Structure 1
Amino acid sequence: MSDHDRLVLRTEAYADFLSGMNSSAVQTEYEVLHLMRQCTAKFGFSHFMIARLPSGEQQRFAERLVLSNWPSDMVRQYDAATVFHASMLVERLRQTKLPIFAETVLLVNAEGDKAVDAIGTLFAGPAMRNAFAVLMHTTAGEAFAVLLSGTRADPDRAETADLYLTLLQLLETLERTFEAGTSVRDKLSAREIECPRWAAAGKSSDEIAIILGISVYTVSSYFKTATRKLDAVNRMQAIARAMRMKLI
């Protein structure tokens, strides 16, 4: 098969994939997560992460994270290290509109400092050694860091363009779920928002009941309805989605 034929087949495959992403039927974060998994595998990567770019001050990674297939223990350790906002990779993203292909360990390294050893080894391993990173913005101007990582080599110019366009459309699809969050806010009552908000602050159901002056049974009831309206499977996922949708 000639290089031209391979390029035609690859372009047609990407076109079909992009068409599926652009479908208005994709409305939930779970559906975008599924598309992101497909995109990651299609381009030869193993892990992905989408996070709101931190502003100048120190901000926890977990509060900025939107979508990821990182192991939960890795997210927890990276969050605890509090290096996301100061990492060399984030700094490089701030300084360019072009995609970056670099070692994933730059998520840990800060300018002039050595990597945090315990966390650096997580990203230095073969499974997440190299990263394709790009800074993207929503139509409202909010900045996001989009990162794919794995063992593959640097993509060529044509594949970089395909990947950039794919990620751009994925972010636009993800943005639709943010807009859906606005309608969710309209559906949630004040109590259905207050209960997850206090839980996110570390309060137990008993403490929330005392704070709001209601019974523990009623707190549980509010959580159940809020979880259903947020299309979540449990309380923790409901809190996480409410945070991502900026409901709490």
Structure 2
Amino acid sequence: MTGRKSREQEIQAMRRRLEQCVSQFDIFRLLREITGISGFKYFLVTNTAGPADGLFSEAVIITSAPTDLFQAYGTIGSMTVHPLAAMIRGTGAPFEYRLHETDSAQPDSPPAVSDVVPAQPDLDYWFIIPVYHPDHGPAAVCFLGDRPPMSSCETAEMTLLGHLIHHKLRRVSAEPVKTASPLTERERECLLWTAAGKTSVEIGRILDLSEHTVNHYLNNVAKKIGAVNRTQAVAFAMRHGFIE
């Protein structure tokens, strides 16, 4: 009973912290913490709407996983035929999926799911929470790792958090940048992902930019605020409210 009460207090604390999030980076940090506490390794928020010829990798909104983890997904075609997208569109309820197991209890999906994902035991288990936004259509909050199946209580808690997180993420992403900041929107985005520990290559893939362009934006940031490196630029920007 004590453990259950502690878990409930933990979830309530997460909800309070989510209410205080004012930026994508705040949500990124909170999601990363929830991921670890829940026994997973990475999180992923993805759209399943958009152009019919859009690749799965282009639908990723925010993730803590390394970019190369999803490169294989980008080789199997458009979102209209992507197996994970098909599963998300096919149900409104949260579900679990073992990528490299064949089990009649799992949601139906083409064999391509296990075919395109490298065999990584620590990433075999996915917990997927389908969500919906009236302006953006179906999406999902996913957690990847290797842990026992979710209990009914854990499923309910994580599903609630997933919906709240997706709603908050959409809301903060739509808010304009503070006018007092000397940074352009692209400079700010590049600096935010730098603060999240992403490399120039990874930032480029997230924002659909070349590595050279990302470095150009980050160099501009450093010049504008007089920083000598990226770490100092992040610290200065956070201190002055340019990023949060």
TM-score (normalised: structure 2): 0.66
- Tell me how far 1:111 sits from its aligned partner: 4.9
Residues 29/112 of structure 1: CA separation in 2 closer, same or farther (3 Å cut): closer
Asked whether the 8 Å contact 1:87–1:111 carries over to 2, the reply is no
Question: How much is the aligned-residue C-alpha RMSD, in angstroms?
Answer: 3.9
1:81, 1:56 → 2: CA distance?
16
Contact 2:87 2:109 survives alignment (8 Å): no
Answer with 1 or 2: which has the greater Rg. Answer: 1
Matched, 1:166 2:165: no
2:14 to 7, 14, 17: 17
| Correspondent of 1:149 among 144, 154, 157 | 144
Query: What's the secondary structure of 1:27's corresponding residue?
Result: coil
> What residue is the counterpart of 2:190 in the other structure?
none
Q: CA deviation at 1:132?
A: 0.4
Residue aligning to 2:25: 30
Give me the whole-angstrom Cα distance separating, in 2, the residues matched to 1:137 and 1:112.
23
Quickly say closer, same or farther: Cα 1:17–1:81, change in 2 above 3 A: same
Report the CA distance shift for 1:112/1:43 in structure 2 as closer, same or farther (over 3 A): closer
- Residue 88 of structure 2 corresponds to residue 98 of structure 1: no
Gaps spanning 5+ residues in structure 2: where?
A: 102-107, 188-203, 225-229, 231-244
Query: How has the CA–CA distance of structure 1 residues 12 and 132 changed in structure 2, closer, same or farther, with 3 Å as cutoff?
Result: same
**Which amino acid in structure 2 is aligned with residue 73 of structure 1?**
D
For 2:137 and 2:112, the matched residues in 1 are separated by 30
2:70 aligns to what? 75
Identity across matched positions, percent: 17
1:51 pairs with 2:46: yes
Which residue of 2 is the match for residue 41 of structure 1? 36
- Given that 1:104 and 1:130 are in contact with CA atoms closer than 8 Å, whether structure 2 keeps it comes out as yes
Relative contact order higher in (CA < 8 Å, ≥ 6 apart): 2
Task: Measure, in 1, the Cα distance between the counterparts of 2:54 and 2:31.
Answer: 25
Provide Cα deviations, 1:155-182, integer angstroms capped at 9, x if missing partner.
11111111111112211221222212x4
CA distance 1:70–1:85, change in 2 (3 Å): farther
Structure with more helix by fraction: 1
**Deviation for aligned residue 1:79:** 2.0
CA gap 1:173/1:115 in 2 versus in 1, 3 angstroms: closer
For 1:175, give the aligned amino acid: R
Distance 2:110 2:157 in 1: 34
